[in-house]
Amino acid sequence: MPVYQLIADPVFPPVELAEEGGLLAVGGDLNPQRLLLAYSMGIFPWFNEGDPILWWSPDPRFILELNELRISRSLAKILRRKLFTVTFDQAFEQVIDACAGVRAQAEGTWITPEMKASYLRLHEMGHAHSAEIWRDGDLVGGLYGVCLGRCFFGESMFHRVTDASKVALVALVERLKARDFELLDCQMASAHLSSLGARAIPRNAFLQRLRRGGVMPSAHPQTGDFS
């Protein structure tokens, strides 16, 4: 199947036209309206610095059912000991910088300055959120993502001490469950997320779940109740 070149208007081709690996389109920009439309359609940007913007909608889609989070005995022990302090939306920019830094050291990062600026704007608009993990006043782990309706689209996480990112994920899931969220989108499969209970579902089923969670295709979708 062809990869579609986006035009200036914030529009996307149907996700069913994506390549086998999930690549749907190239180009466009990262302005808030295009990003919000993308997420509401089950599409997300993912590209390396210096490359054109690539837009993906993989089939199957990797998600975490909120009642299926797998907590190991060692992690449960850490949670009981309350070694960390958890906050939300108190250090969004620090979290995204830390995610970019960790990724850059390991394998190169897709969190470019342009992408960072776009997600900071989404945060200011109330669509992007972070969970922060602190120990002795230092930021040691966290994650961030986009919240629309009753669905959370995870973007990236980091840790500077063992299990800090897992503690952030547990805190996020507890928050989403308390607000009757539909699911946590993990985008692409990974062994790490699989070990925590994430699994693949067909893209069509994923899109149906978005609609059930109040996410309809729109450049101005409903802001999720994350507060």
C-beta of residue 91 within 8 angstroms of C-beta of residue 139: yes
CA torsion, points 111, 113, 119, 121, in degrees to nearest 10? Answer: 180
Whole-number pLDDT of residue 222: 85
Tokens found for residue 126: 């109330």
Of 64, 83, 68, 207, residue with least CA distance to 138? 83
Q: Give the pTM.
A: 0.95
Count of alpha carbons within 13 angstroms of residue 208, beta-carbon side: 5
Tokens found for residue 151: 């669905």
pLDDT tens digits for 172-182? 999 999 999 99
What's the CATH number for 62-212? Answer: 3.40.630.70
Domain extents for the chain? 4-59, 62-212
What's the CATH number for 4-59? Answer: 3.30.70.3550
Q: What is the pLDDT along the chain (227 residues), one digit of tens a residue?
A: 678 999 999 999 999 999 999 999 999 999 999 999 999 999 999 998 888 999 999 999 999 999 999 999 999 999 999 999 999 999 999 999 999 987 544 455 578 899 999 999 999 999 999 999 999 999 999 999 999 999 999 999 999 999 999 999 999 999 999 999 999 999 999 999 999 999 999 999 999 999 999 999 998 898 888 98
Of 62, 146, 139, 51, residue with least CA distance to 102? 139
Question: What is the spatial distance between Cα 121 and Cα 35, in angstroms, rounded to a whole number?
Answer: 11
